[in-house]
Every structure is written in structure tokens, then in C-alpha cells.
Amino acid sequence: MMNELTVPFLATPPSRPRALPSRQDGARIIADGIYKSYDTPTGPKHVLTDISFAIAPGEKMAVLGRNGAGKSTLVKIVGGVERPSRGEIRRKMSLSWPLAFGGGFEVAMTGLDNIRFIARLYDRPIRETIERVDDFAELGSNLLLPVRQYSSGMRARLAFALTLAIDFDCYLIDEVISVGDQRFHRKCHDALFVERKDAAMILVSHDIGIIREYCSSGLVLKRGHGRVFDDLDLAISIYATL
């Protein structure tokens, strides 16, 4: 096991290299002192410890860490899918749910009815939203089936297409590029990184190529502790040693 003193972001207690915006600052997504613990039969399991960062309009931040470091939990907390045990998320831009997250579907309803529900919830034109989702997800007549009958891949396609149909200011992405075949991968890639190149993003990925191409900063997580690096190359170098 690596000596933790050789890992800069864990050599001292987690720090905040950038001053957090105050409540009076402009459009941002702000995570302020986020902790997350779960109760287990053997006692509390600490997943995240004092995580803080701020995302400005158009900024793209990678979240780096090995499996079990707390990446997906953090994304769910930022997106409002889970609540932090302590700390606060302040959302001053429109923010997507985690891309391809299917946990918010009403599984007894059809895919089409779920689209209608989301369109009403976000005050979007229903017919236009249906057309956009249908065109992107390529589920065809499966949209008439209850979501409980969908495979995990079909649910991911529906959730991905629904997210893109809303046009958020900031997108939460958790390894969604793996959905579908190679042609669909390219379609997802272009929809996110080309058509929405000006949107802010929080990107969880093990694909260093995508991170280098699109991200400008990196949040490195280890055992629930983390630190943001504006030097992306340094963040990637530290991640490689974990």
C-alpha cells in the first residue's frame, strides 16, 4: 500500500484550495462541507468527509477516484437523489439529475407517460419533449410499455434522452458514455460534448482521454476525503497513484 504522505491531497487534513462563493455570488453549483454516512449493523460507515467545491457556468470538473471512493454517492447528493448527512448543496444554476439515472421513474407507468410527467414537471412542451426523447433514445414502440419491463440499458437510454431534452445549465455525468453500442456511444458523446459544449458539467469517468479533452479541473477522492485541483494534470497524476 502506498504511503499516504506521498499523496498530496491526503498529506494534511482536506483543504479548500479555492474560496467558496458566498450566498450573494452569481450562478454556481456549490457543495459546502458535505458529509455522508450510513448506519450499518457494525456502526456508521463514513462515505464522504468535508467535501467542498464550486462549479461556475461552463466549467467542467472531473471527479476522480477508485471504486468505492464515494464518487457516485457525491453525484447523487449534488443531484438531489440523496441527502447529505451534513453540509449543504446550493444550486444557482439549473442542474440535471445524474445522467442515465433511472431511479426516478414510475415503473408502473409507460415510458411515454414518464416523459409526459417530466415535461409537465419542468414546464416543457409535451409534444416536443416526446419527439426529442423518442428520436434520441431509439426505443420505438417500447415507449408504450411499462418501464418495469425495460432492461437496464433501455432505462439508461430513456433517462439519458430525458435529461438531454430539458437543456440544463449543468449536467451530472456518471460513466454514461458506456450506454449502448458504439454508434450510440458516439451519439451520446456528440450530444453532450459538442452540442452542449458551453454547459457546465460534473463528470465521473475512468476515461482519462475524455477527462483531458473536456475538463479543466479535477476533484480527487480517496476514502471519502477529497480536494479540487485547478491543475488537471496534477489531479490525474495523483489519481494514477491511488
Task: Give the helix ranges, DSSP H, for 99-207.
Answer: 111-121, 126-137, 152-166, 182-189
The string of pLDDT tens digits covering residues 122-179 is 899 999 999 999 999 999 999 999 999 998 888 888 988 888 888 899 999 887 556 6
- What is the total count of domains within the chain? 1
**Does residue 227 lie in a domain region?**
yes
pLDDT of residue 206: 85
C-alpha gyration radius of the chain: 19
pLDDT of residue 242: 84
pLDDT of residue 182: 81
Q: Which of 167-203 are b and which e, b meaning 16 or more Cβ less than 10 Å from the residue's Cβ?
A: ebbbbbbbbbbebbeeebeebbeeebbeebeebbbbb
pTM of the complete model beyond 0.85: no
Among 52, 62, 105, 46, CA closest to 219: 62
pLDDT of residue 177: 57
**Does residue 36 lie in a domain region?**
yes
Question: Which domain covers residue 46, as residue numbers?
Answer: 28-94+202-242
**Does residue 169 lie in a domain region?**
no
The CATH number that applies at residue 225 is: 3.40.50.300
Among 44, 4, 63, 58, CA closest to 229: 63
All residue ranges of the chain with pLDDT < 70 are 1-26, 100-104, 176-180
Q: Is the dihedral of CA 82, 84, 85, 89 positive or negative?
A: negative
Q: How far apart are CA 84 and CA 106, in angstroms?
A: 24
Q: How far apart are CA 217 and CA 231, in angstroms?
A: 6
